[in-house]
Amino acid sequence: MNLSGKARIAGIFGWPIAHSRSPRLHGFWLDRYGVDGAYIPLAVRPEAFATAFRALPALGFRGVNITVPHKEAALANCDTVDAQARRIGAVNTVVVDDAGKLCGSNTDAFGFIENLRQASDWHAAAGPAVVLGAGGAARAIVVALLDAGAPEVRIANRTRARADAFVSEFGTKTTAEDWDDRADALSDATLLVNTTTLGMQGHDPLDLDLSRLPNAAVVNDIVYTPLQTPLLKDAAARGNTTVDGLGMLLYQAQPGFEKWFGVRPEVDAALRRFVLDDLK
């Protein structure tokens, strides 16, 4: 990295931040496109968030990504927030505009849909989607599916009240399913997405009988450690198209990089390999 005095600066706010793959990912693109710029991990405590965030225009930052636990605080502290990020209730990408305003958006929904479209022939209108989980990741995914035109989104969550809250908020195209009925909810589904931590290294396995899932359905696990989760292995063995979780991470980064650094970056095999090397 060889920066000039005019270097474009972006970064990521989180607490902790050491686990984040984003500096490596954006660093790869900065090198590839020869950008005079930097993407910096910013470890910011929750109590310091608002002060640090509001200082970004004065420091000349082009913008930032936001990760746990700051995504809701970022929404509250932006000058403008787009409609989709408002519905998701979280901001993960911020652009400082020419007037020094902090403009918030959420690219997780874009990343999720773009990854599915690139990796499969899935299209939203084809039929019902089943989402396992009702946490923060599920919020972005449910909004993404509804905005993409899914006719029905079934949400199965261990804590039923959280799934019910989604239905109250997101309306009649969403339904809540009991966790114990998750296997039944798979009938006539065209997409199954795991947004829970089940199946992740160090977590419990996801116990799910896939026998009712149509063979034409696409199965996506947003867990990417391991990349081939037991769910994806089971689904592939019975002939379903499977999509791993790494792509969502890579595609959600595209819009921010383009806005801050002026180049639309490509997600390709070399980038996947580079980010994967760090996951091993």
Q: Which positions are annotated as active-site residues?
A: 71
Beta strands in 144-201 (DSSP E): 153-157, 174-178, 191-194
Compare residues 108 and 114 and give the one whose CB is closer to ligand ATR. Answer: 108
Tell me if 210 sits within 8 A of 238, measured CB to CB: yes
With binding defined as CB under 6 A, does residue 195 bind ligand ATR?
A: yes
Burial of residue 129 (number of CB atoms within 10 Å: 0-12, 13-18, 19+): buried
With binding defined as CB under 6 A, does residue 133 bind ligand ATR?
A: yes
Q: Which stretch binds ligand ATR (CB under 6 A): 43-51, 73-81, 99-107, 194-202?
A: 194-202
Compare residues 158 and 272 and give the one whose CB is closer to ligand ATR. Answer: 158
- Do strands 37-43 and 8-14 pair parallel, antiparallel, or not at all (unpaired)? parallel
Q: Is 154 helix (H, G, I), strand (E, B) or coil?
A: strand
With binding defined as CB under 6 A, does residue 198 bind ligand ATR?
A: yes
With binding defined as CB under 6 A, does residue 159 bind ligand ATR?
A: yes
Compare residues 195 and 241 and give the one whose CB is closer to ligand ATR. Answer: 195
With binding defined as CB under 6 A, does residue 113 bind ligand ATR?
A: no
- What's the closest the beta carbon of residue 57 comes to ligand ATR, in angstroms? 29
| Helix and strand counts by DSSP (H, E) for the chain | 11, 12
- Calculate the CA 138 to chain-centre distance: 9
The amino acid at residue 231 is L
Q: What single DSSP character describes residue 225?
A: S
Q: Is 10 helix (H, G, I), strand (E, B) or coil?
A: strand
- What's the closest the beta carbon of residue 194 comes to ligand ATR, in angstroms? 9
Report angle CA 180, 222, 96 to the nearest 5 degrees: 130
Q: Which residue number has the CB closest to ligand ATR?
A: 135
Q: How many residues bind ligand ATR (CB under 6 A)?
A: 15
- What's the closest the beta carbon of residue 137 comes to ligand ATR, in angstroms? 4
With binding defined as CB under 6 A, does residue 201 bind ligand ATR?
A: no
Binding residues vs ligand ATR (CB under 6 A): 133-138, 157-159, 162, 195-198, 204
